[in-house]
Structure 1
Amino acid sequence: MAPALCWSVQITRPCRRLPAKAILAEYEAEKAKFEQLWAERIRPAKEALKKESEGAGISLNFVIDKFPKLIKVKAFPADDPKTPKTFRNLKKSLFEAGSGYGFDLICPRDQQKGCSLVDAMYEEDEANRGLATHFVSWCWGYTVEQVCSSLQSWRAGAGKPKKKSPTYLWMCFFCNNQYRIHKGQTKPEELKEAFESNLRDIGKMLLGILLQITRLIILDSCVKPKYTERMWCVFETFVSVQQKIQPELILPESATESLAEDMKKEKDPRKVMQQMKQHLDAIKVENATASEKADEDAIKKLIEDDMGYKEVNTTVRERLKKPMGDVIKKYFEAFMDDDS
């Protein structure tokens, strides 16, 4: 018996072709459903990333060990020795529109292009960023060498961690989004609010750069520091007093060496101490300056409308006297211990 022959017939139906507008409309509808589905998870996730960024600090080890090498490539080429290596000059090249650090990254705080340096460094190495443990008050007119020398001395001494937990510094240069400030998108009132919030959260302040942990102040000089002539620095000191945070000073090696030289030159060392006292007594926030005139005027208005110049001046003078006295005390202790 011959085998049966079977045929299969496949009928192909023409594909349904939608008009271009219909395709886009269908896509938008599906996209809306997807976004609605994920909205409850995306919103808190973005808020968490925002809070992490706002409360983040830059690694102490990064600032001391890696940052000076980074700026040699980007900001201060070896063939430009005349340019003062200050943080104010650094800003011009590190945060240049189009090629600056973090310019192409999305800021977790506002979901816009351009992020802070601490967030940009986090993308390169997560160890570069962490929850801020200390607040640093300082001047942008300081050089990189002054800041790093101060922090290095502090790290080797009082700042040496008792545990293995890393130290993260809240420093405006690294932690504020300079692209927004550069565009005038951040008002002094907002920066003040962020400053107060960080002080409360961190609980410790690095005022300048010197000796012990709690609140450290970076001073470039013992006798006539720039710090007391800068608007933000004086105001930060006042706010920290309101927050009941005790400051301590940390100094670069050049400042302590200069103090020692001044003491040796004078037949009566009390003259040097008198100069220090006169400079503190001369603190007047109404005469202090800021890099941005708008900031200067806004802070002065905040002071005039609230506590007044007299209260700020008196508070700052009294608050800085003790840590400055500690500097003199440590100098004489070192002098007495010197066998040479």
Structure 2
Amino acid sequence: MSVGRPTGPAAASGSVLVQQKSAVADELAAEQMKKRAKGVSVEFLVSTFETKLQNALGDEYHDNTTFIHLAESFWGRREARFENMTSFLGHVETPSSDRVGENGVSLCTAIGIYDSHAVSDATHFLSWSWSYQVKKLLQTLKEYCTKRGLDRKKTFVWMCFFCNDQFEWFSGREQDGFETFGNMLRHIGKMVCIVDTYDAATAIYFKRLWPIYEIYIGFTEELAMDLALMVDSKEQLQQETLAKIKQAIVVEVRSAGASMPDDETRIKEMIAGRESDAKETNRIAKLLLVQMISNYLME
């Protein structure tokens, strides 16, 4: 005797139960996303954050300090993670609410405890690179808010450096960057691409895989995208023709890299698995960047 799929009232009841469980799961996922989609105010970053950095790091914080350097101070060097960490606003010793019995929270959480007005629902997702110099990026954010007429106290940016719990990421517990970055970008709905320079020969932005992936997601999901150029690039941009700028922008997704080999493999499989996919991704990324720069020039 074969056993088939239930029918009648029992089946209907089961179907309703499945739908209810699915709805609860979706609600919990949405609530978790809302909890994680917190950003840090630009006002805090360009004022208090930089002052606190200077106090915490002393001479180690200077014009050439990058976010990679900060990561080594806050979470330990790559070869010795979580050793000799510099605590920033208590991020090292604060008990974690997710990792029971362990200390260590995201910088965003530590900042929120220090100043509740400095953290709120993210208004902008930032596409950028940890290789950027801290001072230049902060100045770029400051100028972007001025250019767009945004109140820095009410502009909250989601930056992976601050908003991800790096104690989880560096320990390998949080490994699905696609879900985190993709869902966060969709949830926030507005991305600002912070580009160091449009010249591919010297650009950091075009050589990193995550920014290219983020642009790809922004395009396919039809999200609002904007451009913020770093100071040096802005001055250079004003002296060039659009034709030269188009020629200088080169996106080669298969040559771009990511810090984690697994991330690099997965991203390339997704957006550059075939030669035709890679060419289309390159075309989309370049088209959007040229369009944003063109709009920037006309403003």
Distance 2:61 2:94 in 1: 29
1:218 correspondence with 2:194: yes
Letter in 2 for 1:277: K
Name the aligned partner's letter for residue 66 of structure 2.
Answer: T
Q: Is the 8 A contact 1:53 1:119 kept in 2?
A: no
Secondary structure of 1:287's counterpart equals coil
Match of 1:57 among 39, 51, 69: 39
Q: 1:53–1:71: structure 2 CA closer, same or farther, 3 Å change rule?
A: farther
CA contact (8 A) 1:217 1:250 kept: yes
Structure 2 counterparts to residues 143-292 of structure 1, below 5 A: 143-161=133-151, 166-187=154-175, 190-205=176-191, 216-224=192-200, 225-260=203-238, 263=239, 269-270=240-241, 273-280=242-249, 282-292=250-260
Across the aligned residues of Structure 1 and Structure 2, the Cα RMSD in angstroms comes to: 2.7
1:300 aligns with 2:268: yes
1:4-15 correspondence runs (5 A): none
* TM-score of the superposed pair, with normalisation by structure 1: 0.68
1:185 Cα offset (Å): 2.2
Q: Structure 1: any 5+ residue segments left out of the alignment?
A: 1-45, 206-215, 264-268, 331-340
Give the number of equivalent residue pairs. 259
Describe the SS at the equivalent of 1:324: helix
Counterpart-to-counterpart distance in 1, 2:219 and 2:197: 22
Structure 1 residues 95 and 48, CA gap change in structure 2 (3 angstroms): farther
| TM superposition score normalised by structure 2 | 0.77
Counterpart in the other structure of 1:212: none
Residues 1:156 and 1:316: Cα distance change in structure 2 (over 3 Å):
same
Tell me the distance in 2 between the aligned counterparts of 1:165 and 1:86. Answer: 24
1:71 corresponding residue in structure 2: 53
- Specify the alignment match of 1:327 in structure 2: 296
Gaps of 5+ in 2: 1-27, 77-81
Task: Tell me the residue number matched to 2:93.
Answer: 104
Q: CA deviation at 1:53?
A: 4.0
Once the two structures are superposed, what CA deviation does each residue of 1:161-188 show, in whole Å capped at 9, x if it has no partner? Answer: 4xx971211111110111111122222x
Larger radius of gyration: 1
1:92 aligned residue: 72
Say which SS state the counterpart of residue 285 (structure 1) adopts.
coil
Q: Distance in 1 between matches of 2:217 and 2:161?
A: 19
